[in-house]
Structure 1
Amino acid sequence: MLVSRVNSLLARVHRTARNQNLFRSVTHTAQRYTSKPTTRTSEELINFKPVYKLPYIVHARVLCKLKLYQTAVVLCLTGASVATQAELFIPLTICTVSLTMLGIMGEFFRKLIGIMYVNPTTDEVKIAHLNFWGNRKEMIRPINDIVPPSDIGENISDAFVKFTFVEKSTPNLYLSVKYGHILDKHLFQRVVGEL
């Protein structure tokens, strides 16, 4: 009797949850900046063609990770120095400089575009960049949502060009055509405009 009541209660909860969309699937981090959740088939993801690659993004990732480890070591040593009541000025200065550099480097590498893909059939761009911790992060945006750098007064031949979006909630990124490699010039020009 009790088992049948529990089963009927579970079935009712499951029907209610399914009807109210309470159990939503977790979307990929590439969908984070989109305003509406979309489901993508594997064919749509395969159709993305690489158009730009920054070969130094691997070095940037290593530097970002090393800076994290260095900051952790400096914080531990500063804590040990404070606990032993030794000279405090030098360890606190080193700790402050290390935390400042971590913030600056983390912010710069977080906005640096490593790889850009374009899906010509859906007119979407997949942008891979690093997050603060040095891990890869992707986002997919429509080509129409990208403001060409020439429209905001940027010179595409500069070392780093601001890469902005129409939707202001999406953070600005930085693109380096000078140090990066354009793999497909035609598709790349569809994204950034004339070179």
Structure 2
Amino acid sequence: MLPPLYYLFLQGELSLTVVNYSTGIAAFAAVMLYSISQFARRVVGRMYLDSSGTTLKVSHLTFWGRRNDLYMPVNDVMTFGDVGDSPNETILYFKRYSTTDIMYFSTRFGRVVDKRGFEKVFGTLI
């Protein structure tokens, strides 16, 4: 919307106030979109434990909304005790020993299908 508004301003059809408000709103929208997407791409969508129980597949979205799968050994994932989270919190940290990246997941809004496998990776639920 900004290029047509700037064109109309240069033609004398719009006032500087309208152009300034429109530019401010567009800049605010861009900053909020970027900020929210930085959080949203760190939210874990699904986690899968392979049949041998040694590899964890973590799925999340990229900035552009595509699915990204991360494969990691189970012994690289920090348990609740290592992270310092209580299992009954709404949003839990997903941390690894090999990197400083932090992701987020929720057992309250999500669902644990394999409780035994979940407790093998993260420790006891309650």
Is TM-score (shorter-chain normalized) higher than 0.5? Answer: yes
Per-residue deviation, 1:122: 5.4
Aligned mate of 2:2, from 78, 102, 110: 78
Work out which of the residue numbers 51, 70, 81 in structure 2 matches 1:139. Answer: 70
1:94-109 matches, within 5 Å, as 94-109=25-40
Aligned to 2:109, the other structure's residue is in SS state coil
Gaps of at least 5 residues in structure 1 are 1-76
- Give the C-alpha shift of residue 156 in structure 1: 2.1
Q: Which among 127, 132, 135 is matched to residue 58 of structure 2? A: 127
Instruction: Report 1:40-119 matches (<5 A).
Output: 77-85=1-9, 86=14, 87-119=18-50
1:172 is matched with which residue? 102
Give the direction of change, closer, same or farther, for the CA distance of 1:177–1:122 in structure 2 (3 Å limit).
closer
Runs of 4+ in 1 over 6 A off after TM superposition: none
* Aligned mates of 2:117, 2:3 — CA distance in 1: 52
* Aligned residue identity for 2:50: N
CA separation of 1:83/1:149 partners in 2, compared to 1, >3 Å: closer, same or farther? farther
- Structure 2: gaps (5+ residues): none
Q: Give the count of matched residue pairs.
A: 118
The aligned counterpart of 2:115 is 185
2:116 and 2:90 map into 1 onto residues whose CA distance is: 21
CA contact (8 A) 2:53 2:117 kept: no
Kindly indicate whether the alpha-carbon contact (under 8 Å) linking 2:53 and 2:74 is maintained by their aligned counterparts in 1.
no
Residue identity (%): 25
Counterpart position of 1:159: 90
SS in 2 for 1:140: strand
What amino acid sits opposite 1:105 in the alignment? I
Output the aligned Cα RMSD. Answer: 1.4
**Relative contact order higher in (CA < 8 Å, ≥ 6 apart):** 1
User: Is the radius of gyration larger for structure 1 or structure 2?
Assistant: 1
The structure with the greater share of residues assigned to helix is 1
Return the TM-score normalized by structure 2: 0.86
